[in-house]
Amino acid sequence: MIFIENIGEYLSLDEVALSQGELYTFLTNKNGKGKKGSLVAVIKGTLSKDIIAVLEKLPLELRMKVKEVTIDMAKNMEAAVKQAFPCALVTTDRFHVVKLAMEALQHIRIKHRWEELDKENNAIDEAKKLGTKYIQTELENGDTPRQLLARCRYIIAKKASDWTTNQKRRAMLLFNLYPTLKKAYEHVLEFRSIYELQNKSQAEQRFLKWIDKSNDLQIKEFNTVSNTVKNNLHNILNFFVNRNTNANAESFNSKIKLFRANLRGVTDTKFFLFRLHKLFA
pLDDT at 139: 84
Instruction: Quick: pLDDT tens for 147-183.
Output: 999 999 999 999 999 999 999 999 999 999 999 999 9
Residue 132's Cβ-count burial label (10 Å; 0-12, 13-18, 19+) is exposed
Task: Answer for the pair 256, 266: CB distance below 8 angstroms, yes or no.
Answer: no
DSSP per residue, 218-261? T-HHHHHHHHHHHHTHHHHHTHHHH---SHHHHHHHHHHHHHHH
Instruction: Quick: pLDDT tens for 9-23.
Output: 999 999 888 877 788
Instruction: Say if strands 39-44 and 22-29 run parallel, antiparallel, or are unpaired.
Output: antiparallel
pTM: 0.85
Task: Answer for the pair 235, 74: CB distance below 8 angstroms, yes or no.
Answer: no
Q: Please choose, from the candidates 25, 24, 31, the residue with its C-alpha nearest in 3D space to the C-alpha of residue 68.
A: 31
Q: Which domains does the chain have, with CATH numbers?
A: 4-93+245-280 (3.30.420.10), 95-235 (no CATH)
Instruction: Quick: pLDDT tens for 84-121.
Output: 999 999 999 999 999 999 999 999 999 999 999 999 89
Query: Which residues are within 8 A (CB) of 159 and not within 5 positions of it... i.e. 6 or more apart?
Result: 189
